[in-house]
Amino acid sequence: MKFARTLIAAAVSLAAAGTALADINVGVVLSLTGPGSGLGIPMQKQLALFPKTIAGEKVNLIILDDASDPGKGVSDTRRLITEDHVDVILGSCLTPVAAAMAPVAAENKTLQIAAAPVGVPPGQDHWLFRLPQGNEVMAHAMVQHMKKQGIKTIGFIGYTDAYGELWLKALTPEAEKNGMKVVAVERFARTDTSVTPQALKVTAANPDAIVVVATGSGAAMPEKAIVERGYKGKIYQTHAAATPDLVRIGGKDVEGTFVVSGPAVVPEQLPDSHPSKKVAMDFVTKYEAANGPGSRNQFAGHSYDFGIVMEKIVPMALKKAKPGTAEFRSALRDAMEGMGRTVFSHGVMNWTKDDHWGYTNETGVMLKVTGGKFVVEK
């Protein structure tokens, strides 16, 4: 009898150990402090609604703050891989941080799903996929809108880092292809507290439109500087600025601004035929129920879409391996390329072996700040 009880106890112990080993560990690196906190904090709030189990397996979220610093993002990534043994990493929400993390994730053969439009050299994104729309896709939507506005010359004022550089590289050829020219380029650092010299130079060129390339609350400062210089042309902002912070900080100075965005933040304004309307409404309804009316945020939408991704790829990967193994991490990566057409709050995604961005040119939605709110341009 004693022997039987011992066997039962051992079986229970082994079962418990097996359950623990089967947990899916998800590493998350977000900018919860520093200049990028306006992007990271909404993502963290949405992750509070993340499912506790997927396909019958317990999910553990391990969230670290990269402090808006690429070096900290790298150390966070190493810790998640070597100490927490995560199966997948979400992050970062800042392009420079996500770019710094990518080689570490790739070296350790761990899937990285970036919440920033990060670019890497060709052939080096085997383990990297992106939740935001690519800059080329969003530049396409922006330039098509400019074409309707009769824009011929464009001024550019944006970050000195990777986000600014990638946008300039996407915008310039798209503009030229449509008979437009970038006539002035000015850059500034995320930590700058004034951009008066840059604003003076870009407005002196008197372009028909000025594109501001910045993120969250940081996007308001250059626009206010441009308006203070007396600029009367059109002003455009990128999808990283489609947050309440732009309107809250920019006030009357950002009224009339055109902002390219995914559909996640304006689902009520989308036609019923739009494929993302139902999913985006679900995101907004649940997020605002937890965080208050009007709290919706584009970056929170990326966290919501990450949940859709995990619900789809985990069952596929579990057919090949158990969580906590190199085989499972590899199976998750392979599932990303094979998950097929998937509707997100931010559009329709179809990652493939040759495309780890996934969105199409129909993704971008043009918004206009009207009465302190984002309104879809018809």
Q: Over the stretch 311-364, which tens digit does the pLDDT of each residue have?
A: 999 999 999 999 999 999 999 999 999 999 999 999 999 999 999 999 987 778
Higher pLDDT, 294 or 216: 294
For the residues 61-85, what does the mean pLDDT come to? 98
Give the pLDDT confidence score for residue 378 in this predicted structure: 74
Question: Do 203 and 156 meet the contact criterion of CB atoms below 8 Å apart?
Answer: no
Q: Which CATH number is 334's domain given?
A: 3.40.50.2300
Give the pLDDT confidence score for residue 3 in this predicted structure: 38
Who's near 65: CB < 8 A, 6+ residues apart?
30, 31, 32, 33, 40, 72, 76
Residue 58 backbone zone (phi > 0: left; psi -120 to 50: alpha; other: beta): beta
Claim to verify: residue 196 and residue 251 sit in the same structural domain = yes
- pLDDT single digits (tens) 169-212: 999 999 999 999 999 999 999 999 999 999 999 999 999 999 99
Is 13 part of any domain?
Answer: yes
Claim to verify: residue 47 and residue 140 sit in the same structural domain = no
Q: What is the DSSP letter of 265?
A: G
Cα 26-218-133 angle, rounded to 5 deg: 50
- What's the chain's average pLDDT? 92
For the residues 70-86, what does the mean pLDDT come to? 98
Give the pLDDT confidence score for residue 29 in this predicted structure: 98
Give the pLDDT confidence score for residue 7 in this predicted structure: 39
Q: Which three-class secondary structure state does DSSP give residue 213?
A: strand
Number of independent structural domains in the chain: 2
Q: Is the pLDDT of residue 4 over 50?
A: no
Claim to verify: residue 126 and residue 141 sit in the same structural domain = no
Claim to verify: residue 119 and residue 93 sit in the same structural domain = yes
Is 279 part of any domain?
Answer: no
Q: Which two tokens stand for residue 295?
A: 């709290």
Claim to verify: residue 190 and residue 294 sit in the same structural domain = no
Q: Which two tokens stand for residue 66?
A: 């990269």
How far, in Å, CA of 47 to CA of 69, rounded?
Answer: 21
Is 242 part of any domain?
Answer: yes
Claim to verify: residue 71 and residue 124 sit in the same structural domain = yes
pLDDT band at 273 (very low <50, low <70, confident <90, very high): confident
Higher pLDDT, 296 or 237: 237
pTM to 2 decimal places? 0.81
Is 323 part of any domain?
Answer: yes
Claim to verify: residue 165 and residue 248 sit in the same structural domain = yes
Domain carrying residue 76:
2-133+288-349
Is 362 part of any domain?
Answer: no
Q: Is the pLDDT of residue 1 over 70?
A: no
Is 366 part of any domain?
Answer: no
Is 357 part of any domain?
Answer: no
Residue ending a domain, among 261, 280, 302, is: 261
Is 51 part of any domain?
Answer: yes
Claim to verify: residue 124 and residue 231 sit in the same structural domain = no
φ/ψ of residue 235, rounded to 5: -125, 130
Claim to verify: residue 180 and residue 300 sit in the same structural domain = no
pLDDT band at 5 (very low <50, low <70, confident <90, very high): very low
Question: How far is the first Cα of the chain from the last one, in angstroms, to the nearest whole number?
Answer: 78
For the residues 241-245, what does the mean pLDDT come to? 88
A 10 A CB-CB count for 207 gives 23
User: E strands of the chain, at which residues?
Assistant: 24-30, 53-54, 57-65, 88-91, 111-114, 128-130, 153-159, 181-188, 209-213, 234-237, 258-261, 342-344, 347-349, 365-370, 373-376
Claim to verify: residue 206 and residue 252 sit in the same structural domain = yes
Claim to verify: residue 87 and residue 151 sit in the same structural domain = no
Claim to verify: residue 254 and residue 345 sit in the same structural domain = no
